Amino acid sequence: GADSLELLSAIDRAALARGLRQDVLLEINIGAESSKSGFAPEAVPHILEKAAEFGSVRVRGLMAIPPICASEDEIRPYFSRMQQLFVDNGGKKYDNVHMDFLSMGMSADYSAAIECGANMVRVGAAIFGARIYR
């Protein structure tokens, strides 16, 4: 996901140079965690307006990795807030913005994410097993 206007601009330049139109998701820091990058939820309307200026980038939706939570009940408010951002901003008309995808949830919490509106989840660990870090 694109997590800054600088990255959106760089993607736009690279896509333009190759004659492409690059689809991106905006990465939202839904938990306001200092250890994570991403746009603040309240900045989404402004970022979508700015994205309209990038002719070789098309914003296709939002993505987030919420804070690690002990239970699905704890993580649901983050997923619900993302779903509300997606709905609130998806109906607005911006050039180069076609809000189709809400990406949130991973192997441990994908069912709660889907119940809260995710239509794209990351379930690599459920398929390939846990990563081994050295």
Q: Quick one: pLDDT band at residue 133, thresholds 50, 70, 90?
A: low
Q: Quick one: pLDDT band at residue 92, thresholds 50, 70, 90?
A: confident
Task: Tell me what pLDDT residue 127 has.
Answer: 58
Task: State the pTM of this model.
Answer: 0.83
pLDDT at 34 over 80: yes
Mean pLDDT over 35-43 rounds to: 90
CA atoms within 13 A on the CB side of 52: 9
Between the CA of residue 55 and those of 29, 45, 59, 132, what are the distances in Å? 25, 18, 11, 40
- For the chain, the average pLDDT equals 86
* Closest listed residue to residue 87, CA positions, set 98, 99, 79: 99
- Cα 116 to the chain's mean position, in Å? 14
Q: How many Cβ atoms sit within 10 Å of the Cβ of residue 60? A: 18
